[in-house]
A and B are shown apart, each in its own frame.
Chain A
Amino acid sequence: DVKVTQSSRYLVKRTGEKVFLECVQDMDHENMFWYRQDPGLGLRLIYFSYDVKMKEKGDIPEGYSVSREKKERFSLILESASTNQTSMYLCASSPSLSMGGYTFGSGTRLTVV
C-alpha cells in the first residue's frame, strides 16, 4: 500500500514561531500536496509540487511556504505561526494531478496558542 506519513499527529506551537510540518511518501509519486481541513470549509489546497524543487500555489498560500528537496519529502512551513492557522493539515501524494489517485496521510492537528 502507498503510505503517506506525516511526522506529527498533534502539534502545539506559540504565535510567531516558525513551524515545520513534514510529509514523506514511499511510492515514488511525482506530485505532492498540502491541504488544510477546517470544519464546514472542507479541504483547501495550500501548495502542491509536481517535481523536486518545483512548487505551485494553491487556493490559500498566504502565510505558508513549502520545500521539496527530495522526491519523497514535502515540507510545509509556517514562517510565523498565527492563531488563524490552527487547523488540521493533510498531506497527499499522487502519480497524477488530474486523474485523482491521491493518497492522504493521517493529518497533523496544529494548534497555535
Chain B
Amino acid sequence: AQSVSQHNHHVILSEAASLELGCNYSYGGTVNLFWYVQYPGQHLQLLLKYFSGDPLVKGIKGFEAEFIKSKFSFNLRKPSVQWSDTAEYFCAVTGGNSGYSTLTFGKGTMLLVSP
C-alpha cells in the first residue's frame, strides 16, 4: 500500500515569509499528486494537482509545487504567505498499481500565519 509522509505537523510563520511544506510518497510507479487545503471551519479544497508534464505545477492563491521523481517528493511552496493562508494542508497521492487507486492522504500540516 502506498503511503504519504508530510514532514511537519505544525508550521508557524510571519506574514510575508516564504513557505515550503514537504511531502514524500512511497509508491515507485506512476502517480498522480495533489495538495488539498482546509481552512478553519471549511471543507477540503483542491490547491493543485500533478499528473504529468512540467514538474512545476501552479495552483490557486499563489501556491506552487514541484514534483521530483528521483526524490519521491512533491513539496508545496509559496513565496510570501498571508494571514489568510492559515489552514491545514494535506498532500495526497493516487498510484497506478493493480486494483483500485483512491486518494491516500498524508497526516496534514497545520500552518499558522501570524500577522
Q: Hey, which bits of chain B sit against chain A, CB under 8 A? A: 1, 6, 9, 32, 34, 42-46, 49, 51, 90, 92, 94-96, 100-108
- CB-CB under 8 A from B100, the residues of chain A are 48, 50, 56, 97
A selection of 20 A-B contacts at a CB cut-off of 8 Å is A33-B102, A35-B105, A40-B9, A40-B107, A41-B107, A42-B6, A42-B90, A42-B105, A43-B44, A43-B90, A45-B102, A48-B100, A90-B43, A97-B102, A98-B32, A98-B96, A100-B32, A106-B42, A106-B43, A107-B43
Task: Tell me the residues in window 4-25 of chain A with beta carbons closer than 8 Å to chain B beta carbons.
Answer: none
Total residue contacts A-B, CB cutoff 8 A: 60
- B105 to A100, Cβ gap below 8 A? no
Q: How large is the interface on A (under 10, 10 to 19, 20 to 34, 35 or more residues)?
A: 20 to 34
Bound Cα distance from A83 to B96, whole angstroms: 36
Kindly name the residue among A41, A43, A48, A56 whose own CB sees the greatest number of chain B CB atoms within 10 A: A43
Interface residues of A (CB under 8 A from B): 33, 35, 40-45, 48, 50, 56, 58-59, 90, 92, 97-102, 104-107
